[in-house]
Chain A
Amino acid sequence: MVRIKIQTNSLNVWYGDNHVLQDVKLAIPERHITAIIGPSGCGKTTLLKSLNRMVELIEGARVEGRVLLDGRDIYDSDMDPAELRRRVGMVFQKPNPLPMSIYDNVAYGLRVRGIDDRVVLDEAVEEALERAGLWSEVKERLRDSAFNLSIGQQQRLCIARALAVGPDVLLLDEPCSSLDPISTRRIESLLTRLKNDLTLVIVTHNLQQARRIADYTAFLYMGRLVEMAPTEEIFEKPREELTRNYIEGRFG
């Protein structure tokens, strides 16, 4: 039996009057990859963003219900969103390096925590880049602007940057949608390695990708969680008719 890292209970999200997530009850297993699939506009990104309270930055957003991280509600008033986001990191759809050097990008999360010791930072930066599989490609040019990297490298830099602050959970919002197939494969094998010590949640449009890397898959439709099961089951013998139709490409 796997341990549950994140549990949502009757999670509801509104944007103004628009009810985008309805009573979502989802359990995310620790140190596995969970994929969230579903047609555009079904609330996948919103669901992901409610797991580290990034959803609160969207104007007009209102969240109800509970999201338990290791049994503790992240929407509790004494939970510091900044502290939460250090434990639950996020990688976005479009690579978004900060306008600074490669090194400074990776060191950023540590510096804002007040860590300025050169030796500590050097070590952390190397380790994070190593884990993201980028070290050998950038070690000679850590002082270069992050924008000089290819798009695929930029996305791995964003992963390295998130890893540097030492999260337990990494949320990924369609991280490969702007990448070519080779960069995509690279990121996929990286994620498969990372699940040894991290819980990963990935939103994806690409069903093949979910199939290749996810241990569990959740299907979201019109703001509701239709079903969640081990990936094999979702793709081979889904319980719901709706899921089957989606998997078989009858709508999307």
Chain B
Amino acid sequence: MRGVERLTPYITSALSLIPIAAIIALTSLIAYHGLGGLSWRFISSSILRGGVYEAVIGTLLLFSGATAIATPLGVLAAIYLVEYAPRSWLTELVERAVENLAGVPSILYGLFGFTLFSKLLGFGISLLSGWLTLACMMLPIIVRSSQEALRMVPKSIREASLALGASKWTTITRCVLPAAAPGIATGVILGVCRVAGETAAILLTSCFYTMRGLPRSPLDPVLSLTYYLYILIVAKAGDTPLEVIFALALLLFLLIVALNSTALILRFRYRGVKRW
């Protein structure tokens, strides 16, 4: 036993190197193969001329639309749950459900979106169906983190506002929400991260392999970086240079890293500031 005790620090530190090594390996693999092909030309020229322009724009369209739909809904739901909902089994159930929804595999969201938005509501394989499906995926994350951010706002701030004759809603919009904003913003970015790398859900609801050009309306299909990468790997494996595939992978990787870092920076910047 004594021996194991003495070895523990070495074993644990050795084990902790594994994830670090994995990250380094992954990053260097993608960078090694991808750096050569990644250029402004590659990003800004059409897929018909060997670029990824439509996929970049498509990804940005998918994100921003889904975020614009999910953020207000998620924040309002969190406000209801934290500030208004009575403590009851129903509230408890809703909160548990939200927690579990965050872990549902994305292919199920894809299937759900396809059934409901594409077929039942008749939006077809389109940007709109993609927005709604991705918004559903982001919702649980935004609701959860907004709830946490709202709960972090001390009761004394609400009391101060109410004691000055502000209504409950005014107190929420003028005091509680601004105080919780950094936490909510972090949650939104984490929500975007969740869908940024998403393939399965949009594969079923919003992308067509034969899509050319940019969508002209929300009812048009769209290309995304993840989906295009998937196509290049699976369907056109033979006739796409490896360099192009890895350049695309690197672009996607950098995008996710940038998003995650933004969330991290936001979190740290506001943790240090004493606000109450």
A interface residues, Cβ below 8 angstroms from B: 52, 54, 57, 59, 82-83, 85-86, 89-90, 92, 94, 96-100, 108-109, 111-113, 147, 158, 161-162, 165
Contact = CB atoms under 8 A, between A and B. Distances in A.
Nearest to B178: A99
A212 B161 CA distance: 31
Contacts of A92: 156, 159-160, 163
B165 A96 contact: no
Interface in B242-276: 274-276
Given A57-B159, A82-B165, A112-B161, 18 more contacts: A52-B163, A82-B162, A82-B166, A85-B163, A89-B163, A94-B156, A96-B154, A98-B175, A99-B157, A99-B178, A100-B178, A109-B165, A111-B174, A112-B165, A112-B174, A113-B165, A158-B160, A162-B164
A54, A99, A162 interface centre (most CB from chain B within 10 Å): A99
A106 to B, nearest CB: 10
B164 A86 contact: yes
Contacts of A100: 178
A97 B160 contact: yes
A114 B163 CA distance: 16
A147 B87 contact: no
A162 B175 contact: no
A150 to B, nearest CB: 14
B164 A108 contact: yes
A54 B157 CA distance: 13
B162 A96 contact: no
A85 B162 contact: yes
Contacts of B175: 98-99
B13 interface: no
Contacts, number: 72
Nearest to A94: B156
B167 interface: yes
B87, B158, B166 interface centre (most CB from chain A within 10 Å): B166
Interface string B174-192: 1100110000000000000
A90 B154 CA distance: 17
Contacts of B166: 82, 108-109, 112
B91 interface: no
Nearest to B153: A99
B274 A147 contact: yes
B164 A54 contact: no
Which 6 residue pairs across A and B have the least CB separation, nearest first?
A: A86-B165, A109-B164, A96-B156, A90-B163, A112-B166, A96-B160
Given A92-B156, A99-B175, A54 B276 contact: no
B160 A54 contact: no
13 contacts: A54-B159, A54-B163, A57-B159, A82-B162, A85-B163, A86-B164, A92-B163, A96-B154, A96-B160, A96-B276, A99-B275, A108-B164, A147-B274
Contacts of A86: 164-165
Nearest to A147: B274
A85 B159 CA distance: 11
Contacts of A57: 158-159, 162
B45 interface: no
A100, A108, A111 interface centre (most CB from chain B within 10 Å): A108
Contacts of A54: 159, 162-163
A82 B164 CA distance: 8
B136 to A, nearest CB: 32
A184 B174 CA distance: 31
B178 to A, nearest CB: 7
A147 B162 contact: no
Interface string B121-162: 000000000000000000000000000000000101111111
